[in-house]
Chains A and B, each alone.
Chain A
Amino acid sequence: MKQPRPMKTFVLQEQGPIELTHATISYFFPKVEASVKTHSSTPMEAPIRATEFLRFTLLSLLFFVCRSSPSHDLLISNAERRIDLTSHIVKVYLTLKVENAGSTPTSEILLAFPPTQVDHLATVEALVTKGKRKKTTLARLDVTPTELPDAPNGTKYFTIYLTNPLNSGESTTLEVLYLFTHSLEPFPAEIGQSESQLVYYRDSALILSPYHIKQQTTFLKTPSTKVESFTRVEPTNRAGTEMKYGPYEDRHPYTFSPILIHFENNSPFPVVEELVREVEISHWGNLQVTEQYTLVHGGARHKGVFSRVDYQSRPNMNGVSSLRYLLARLPPRVHSVYYRDEIGNISSSHLRTDSRKSELEIEPRYPLFGGWKATFVIGYGLPLQDFLFESSDDRRYLNFTFGCPLLDTVVDKLTVKVVLPEGSKDPSAVVPFTVEQHLETKYSYLDVVGRTVVVMEKKNLVPVHNSHFQVYYTFKPIFMLAEPLMLASAFFLFFVACVAYLHIDLSIRK
């Protein structure tokens, strides 16, 4: 076994998120020693000097040198990780070459995440490459969160299920994509109007994995060349907007090496704190969608004055990270689009339509600086035949996109309400991911029994979640006539009453 190189951190700026004073050092020091000692029984462990620990955050300490013996005989021969930090949604592309070194075939591959990251994990997707050389195709694999009994330090797992079990000695290549939200911490947390937004990103230079990794490399892409500081874990290279950690070789399971990157990210951080999408089906041919947004700029908080004159005269230097407009991608053939808030119409919006898609460009009433909030409603109508179909078993189903139509936006909490027409029965929803579901009743125009509403809730969404979902229900067209008949009979009765009144003399004295 090769002795791993001692890790060094290279910090330009001596300010950490947790300032370690002498007291805390003395408090943590024995603990660090202890943790090193307990694990030093394994000979592969790197001797780490305690001083280097001081640069790491407290949380990352928990995972530093934890390990447990995986029950599998899988190993990862090559891992390449690309982390995209250009927007506020952190995209991680992981290419794993998995090898079955054991004797039994296995079809389950585990992905491990530290608990701090799992909280921000929006989605995990795994794809397997099939075919050889040029004829490769990608096939999607099932990924489910898994609990393991002996998870060290609260490590969370996701299991990838292979379609074909991996036989002994075989290897396969997996493409894993996962996204983190709220993982860029603005530092300084408050900035003035003319300052640019700097953020911290925390991760590990080594991929946390329950398997032995023979060789691994991590690439990080920052939005600009302006990087204030970053942790060095040799070999570490930085060129332009890209940083390369590795290649590291022969790392044991659960090896962890925290890194901290402090860089400039001036893209606005649009976060929708709450989004309620209401999709109302009318069998008269319209699908009405109403979306209520609570938008917040999730970046560094705005501090002090907001000067319009600076903002208008020097837009490149002032409020660069402010949120000026948003783009919503709506389905084609959209009509009656409105954009308003609780005090009326917001006039700053543009709609561009073509045959394949519609784009709605909206500006909030005021530019959103860090921490500023805005609420608004977008509503539009769609032709029903584009979204409502009949299934083979004589039921109808609505096929509609689940997520938020705004581009590049994180949604903390999404509620999708599908309002079925009055008189529809047995609703059931099919969603490609897990959501909380329940039923409600809504009374709309002249309803008597009310409309069934299928409510689906999900937290922490990213644009990847804009996949289709289906709501199945049965509906008899005769119910469509209920309300016109009701109105007609009401008017008829009214006229009858009028005629009766005119023809009956109610006076007592003739």
Chain B
Amino acid sequence: MAAPESSAAAVPTLYTNNALRNAFGGVLAFFILLLIGVMAFSIRLFSVIKYESVIHEFDPYFNYRVTQFLAKNGIYEFWNWFDDRTWYPLGRVIGGTVYPGLTLTAGTIWWLLNSLNIPLSVETVCVFTAPIFSAFASWATYLLTKEVKGTGAGLTAAALLAMVPSYISRSVAGSYDNEAVAIFALIFTFYLYIKTLNTGSLFYATLNSIAYFYMVCSWGGYTFIINLIPMHVLLCIVTGRFSSRLYIAYAPLVVLGTLLAALVPVVGFNAVMTSEHFASFLVFIILHVVAFVYYIKGILTPKMFKVAVTLVVSVGLAVCCAVIAVLVALVASSPTKGWSGRSLSLLDPTYASKYIPIIASVSEHQPPTWPSYFMDINVLAFLVPAGIIACFSPLSDASSFVVLYIATSVYFSGVMVRLMLVFAPAACITSGIALSQAFDVFTRSIKFQLPGIASKAEVDAAETSSSTAEAQNDVVKAEKSEETSKNRPSKKSKKKEKEEKPLTKAKAEKKRLLALPLDSSVISLLLLILLGALYVVHCVWAAAEAYSAPSIVLTSRSHDGLHVFDDFREAYAWLRHNTDVDDKVASWWDYGYQTTAMANRTVIVDNNTWNNTHIATVGTAMSSPEKAAWEIFHSLDVKYVLVVFGGLVGYPSDDINKFLWMVRIGGGVFPHIKEPDYLRDGQYRIDSQATPTMLNCLMYKLSYYRFVETDGKAFDRVRQTEIGKKYFKLTHFEEVFTTHHWMVRIYKLKPPKNRIRGKTKKSKSKTSTTSSRAKRSGTGKKNPWH
């Protein structure tokens, strides 16, 4: 909604004198930006108002726990933190395996507030970090778009980004995840790159490296930056746009940025050793070669230069071939060709589902569907092409970057739903440019043709067009790209405008010819406003309804009011207070982070899926019959098993629905678990047609234990069927807690029975503690106690 405001804002300032108008426009832009920030913050508070101020979902709980640790123990302890509460018995080195940006940011905010004696809890700070940073992100968008296409486009893009649903989905209050700060860092890094490119200032180049460092700290998506910027540099070189500004924008970034990136423990030497970073080094070399060539060209005569080129090219080709051969050999020698699994699945979308079930099992790693595009960026999808066209007229270094950014991010978003998040800012920027250009054209057309002000407009024509914020900056940009030597900060550039007047006058005449008919431009203007309104309505709906649920507390509306399902926290609170502090809890990895954070109990696997074998072990246990499962769990020192069951209340994302992934992941490591055993004619079912393996596996039993006694029929409301096996007893597990709506069920492993005379030998070999042994013994061997 700020879009029409901003362009309309320019209108009343037309007839005052220039300096005052600039000042007034500046103040107005400042207040609009402030309002955009407030809107970006407040639209994300739906979750707090509708639910409560609480950390959402899965990963944020881990980040919250790390932040708590940081706040309590300080930064040095944090770097050295070995977490023994997770991945039992392996543990996890937290300090060296997390992207610390988010945690450090929230920890710093908390520390700052507390040293000002504002006693906010760590939780409160964590909950509101994401909304605060989305306000920052919208301001960064303003800066970036302003560098590309002027203030009007900047304000429009900032307003669009402040409420784009794709970004809201990851940054509502409580969604305390890396992306919350990373998107800000991403946009800000791009802004500083463009700013350096436009000004050629080494100051901004340094800032750019620091912003890049912050991005590396925050999110693994930094590889997008370190590949996109080299691509743009290459594009500039290829299209003959090499300049010293380009060199200053890129070379310090690679050198400083790589050094800084290597400081982050989780990246470390990866910053120079993995293929994701190689492109930047290659372009770095190319840039230097090109710069050298330009230098040589400057000091040699054209004839000499030609000779030199042939000489160098022939020698250079040979050297290049050798270097490339070495590189290829190096890369090929590493098993994944130097690429990590997630990155490979970006290049080859089918890679993950083929080879890594654990990556494929996460819904956010799936390719998006068309409706999800409409859901996440809504009308922006239609405005993006217009914005790309607007970027081409005229094509500057900055606008070519935006085009490249949107092109690559469209590809990546098509690979993985999660990367819609990278695409959203690009879409907002291009749409902002498109909207603002369209408004510009339409309002100008109206202005020239309105009879009342036509005569005055005639006189003021030159001034009018140059003073509309967008047009003005356009011209400045165009000027700047032509004359490379005079690079001054934009603060001073205002004084320069007066000198450019003759030139702009000519341009204004040209633009006058492009004016559209009055009625059509009025209608188009109205339609554009309508489109904007639709977008706002959709965004508010998405923020309020679709993306605000914290997913740990569920609500359902029925005829007798709101019903709250708070089963997860009920179970976690029970575990926290009524089990021994060192007890180990086994569950599917989805609930690992929550269990450690909310219940403070040791888990076997969690959402940081770094050890596939370990996860496969739990998957195998869940898909094994009771006895074998008991042995696996017992070997892992597990005391409680937690399953999520939605059959009573119809909660669809429960463990039975995730069960096939457990089978697949388990079967991937332990071949005796075979997926077809759990499927009847290729269909996954739990009713009377289900396979005996399915009906006897631990997950089935723990989910449906005594379920039949609730309604007498054992009707599963998620699968919409009666279950296959209704009456059975548990021999190795006992139910110790089931939540109010049965959504979480906790079982305790029964203690091992006393040895029976004559079976001493056998049971000794059974209780051997290595998990693989236990598993092997669990495959189909007879139960010695029955």
Identify which of A15-23, A371-379, A454-462 touches chain B. Answer: A371-379
Q: Are A343 and B598 in contact (CB under 8 A)?
A: yes
Q: How many A-B residue pairs have CB under 8 A?
A: 74
Q: Beyond A313-B709, A343-B569, A373-B578, is A366–B737 a contact (Cβ under 8 Å)?
A: yes
Whole-angstrom distance from the CB of B728 to the nearest CB of chain A?
14
Residues of B within 8 A of A43 (CB): none
Whether a CB of chain A sits under 8 angstroms from the CB of B577 is yes
Whether a CB of chain B sits under 8 angstroms from the CB of A304 is yes
Whole-angstrom distance from the CB of A361 to the nearest CB of chain B?
16
Whole-angstrom distance from the CB of B233 to the nearest CB of chain A?
29
Identify which of A173-181, A237-245, A444-452 touches chain B. Answer: A444-452
Whether a CB of chain A sits under 8 angstroms from the CB of B545 is no
Whether a CB of chain A sits under 8 angstroms from the CB of B285 is no
Q: Are B734 and A344 in contact (CB under 8 A)?
A: no
Residues of A within 8 A of B553 (CB): 344, 347
Whether a CB of chain B sits under 8 angstroms from the CB of A499 is no
Residues of A within 8 A of B710 (CB): 309, 313
Q: Are B735 and A306 in contact (CB under 8 A)?
A: yes
- Docked complex: A220-250 residues within 8 A CB-CB of B: none
Q: Beyond A347-B564, A445-B117, is A365–B573 a contact (Cβ under 8 Å)?
A: yes
* Nearest neighbor of B706 in chain A, beta-carbon distance: A309
Q: Beyond A366-B570, A444-B119, is A308–B578 a contact (Cβ under 8 Å)?
A: no
Residues of A within 8 A of B190 (CB): none
Q: How far is the CA of A372 from the CA of B573 in the complex (A)?
A: 11
Q: How far is the CA of A444 from the CA of B710 in the complex (A)?
A: 51
Whether a CB of chain A sits under 8 angstroms from the CB of B691 is no
- Docked complex: B725-749 residues within 8 A CB-CB of A: 734-740, 742
Whether a CB of chain A sits under 8 angstroms from the CB of B242 is no
Identify B735's interface contact among A305, A341, A365, CB under 8 A: A305
Whole-angstrom distance from the CB of A422 to the nearest CB of chain B?
10
Residues of B within 8 A of A345 (CB): 52, 54
Q: How far is the CA of A290 from the CA of B54 in the complex (A)?
A: 19
Q: Are A365 and B709 in contact (CB under 8 A)?
A: no
Residues of A within 8 A of B573 (CB): 341, 343, 365-366, 374
Q: Are B119 and A443 in contact (CB under 8 A)?
A: yes
Identify A375's interface contact among B118, B577, B709, B738, CB under 8 A: B577
Whether a CB of chain A sits under 8 angstroms from the CB of B654 is no
Whole-angstrom distance from the CB of B648 to the nearest CB of chain A?
10
Interface centre among A313, A343, A346, A375 (most CB of B within 10 A): A343
Identify B572's interface contact among A306, A343, A372, A374, CB under 8 A: A343
Whether a CB of chain B sits under 8 angstroms from the CB of A307 is yes
Q: Beyond A343-B572, A347-B553, A373-B577, is A305–B734 a contact (Cβ under 8 Å)?
A: yes
- Docked complex: A429-457 residues within 8 A CB-CB of B: 443-448
Whole-angstrom distance from the CB of A317 to the nearest CB of chain B?
14
- Docked complex: A231-280 residues within 8 A CB-CB of B: none
Residues of A within 8 A of B569 (CB): 343-344, 365
Whether a CB of chain A sits under 8 angstroms from the CB of B566 is yes
- Docked complex: B547-600 residues within 8 A CB-CB of A: 552-553, 564, 566, 569-570, 572-574, 576-578, 598
Q: Are B734 and A304 in contact (CB under 8 A)?
A: yes
Interface centre among B553, B578, B739 (most CB of A within 10 A): B578
Q: Are B735 and A446 in contact (CB under 8 A)?
A: no
Q: Are A366 and B574 in contact (CB under 8 A)?
A: yes
Whether a CB of chain A sits under 8 angstroms from the CB of B116 is yes
Identify A374's interface contact among B552, B566, B577, B737, CB under 8 A: B577
Q: How far is the CA of A174 from the CA of B732 in the complex (A)?
A: 62
Q: Are A308 and B577 in contact (CB under 8 A)?
A: no
Q: Are A344 and B52 in contact (CB under 8 A)?
A: yes
* Nearest neighbor of A367 in chain B, beta-carbon distance: B740
* Nearest neighbor of B26 in chain A, beta-carbon distance: A502
Q: Are B738 and A308 in contact (CB under 8 A)?
A: yes
Interface centre among A308, A309, A373 (most CB of B within 10 A): A308
Q: Beyond A343-B569, A343-B598, A345-B54, is A366–B739 a contact (Cβ under 8 Å)?
A: yes
Q: How far is the CA of A306 from the CA of B570 in the complex (A)?
A: 14
Interface centre among A305, A346, A375 (most CB of B within 10 A): A305
- Docked complex: B501-556 residues within 8 A CB-CB of A: 552-553
Q: Beyond A304-B734, A309-B710, A345-B54, is A445–B118 a contact (Cβ under 8 Å)?
A: yes
Whole-angstrom distance from the CB of B490 to the nearest CB of chain A?
13
Residues of A within 8 A of B734 (CB): 304-305
Q: Are A347 and B566 in contact (CB under 8 A)?
A: yes
Q: Beyond A366-B737, A446-B117, A446-B118, is A307–B706 a contact (Cβ under 8 Å)?
A: yes
Residues of B within 8 A of A304 (CB): 734
Q: How far is the CA of A435 from the CA of B709 in the complex (A)?
A: 53
User: A353-382 toward B: CB 8 Å interface, digit per residue (1/0)?
Assistant: 000000000000110000111110000000
Whole-angstrom distance from the CB of A98 to the nearest CB of chain B?
49
Identify B574's interface contact among A305, A365, A371, A448, CB under 8 A: A365
Q: How far is the CA of A452 from the CA of B736 in the complex (A)?
A: 47
Q: Are B738 and A306 in contact (CB under 8 A)?
A: yes
Residues of A within 8 A of B52 (CB): 344-345
Q: How far is the CA of A149 from the CA of B57 in the complex (A)?
A: 66
Residues of A within 8 A of B118 (CB): 445-446
Residues of A within 8 A of B706 (CB): 307, 309
Q: Are B577 and A372 in contact (CB under 8 A)?
A: yes
Interface centre among A345, A365, A443 (most CB of B within 10 A): A365
Q: How far is the CA of A306 from the CA of B706 in the complex (A)?
A: 12
Q: How far is the CA of A187 from the CA of B12 in the complex (A)?
A: 87
Whole-angstrom distance from the CB of B44 to the nearest CB of chain A?
18
Q: Are B566 and A445 in contact (CB under 8 A)?
A: no
Q: How far is the CA of A341 from the CA of B734 in the complex (A)?
A: 28
Q: Are A309 and B709 in contact (CB under 8 A)?
A: yes
* Nearest neighbor of B54 in chain A, beta-carbon distance: A344
* Nearest neighbor of B119 in chain A, beta-carbon distance: A444
Interface centre among B117, B577, B736 (most CB of A within 10 A): B577
User: A283-314 toward B: CB 8 Å interface, digit per residue (1/0)?
Assistant: 00000000000000000000011111100010
Residues of A within 8 A of B119 (CB): 443-445
Q: How far is the CA of A305 from the CA of B742 in the complex (A)?
A: 15
Q: How far is the CA of A372 from the CA of B116 in the complex (A)?
A: 40
Residues of A within 8 A of B574 (CB): 365-366, 372
Residues of A within 8 A of B709 (CB): 309, 313
Whole-angstrom distance from the CB of A348 to the nearest CB of chain B?
8
Q: How far is the CA of A375 from the CA of B572 in the complex (A)?
A: 13
Q: How far is the CA of A348 from the CA of B119 in the complex (A)?
A: 27
Residues of B within 8 A of A444 (CB): 117, 119
Q: How far is the CA of A346 from the CA of B570 in the complex (A)?
A: 9
Pairs across A and B, CB under 8 Å, 24 listed: A304-B734, A305-B735, A306-B735, A306-B737, A307-B706, A307-B735, A308-B738, A308-B742, A309-B709, A309-B710, A343-B54, A343-B569, A343-B573, A344-B52, A344-B569, A348-B566, A365-B569, A365-B570, A366-B573, A366-B739, A375-B577, A444-B119, A445-B119, A446-B116
Closest CB pairs A-B (n = 9)? A308-B738, A373-B577, A344-B54, A345-B52, A443-B117, A347-B564, A365-B573, A365-B570, A343-B598
Given A347-B564, A374-B573, 5 other A-B contacts at CB below 8 A? A306-B736, A306-B738, A309-B738, A345-B52, A374-B577
Interface set of B (CB-CB < 8 Å, partner A): 52, 54, 116-119, 552-553, 564, 566, 569-570, 572-574, 576-578, 598, 706, 709-710, 734-740, 742
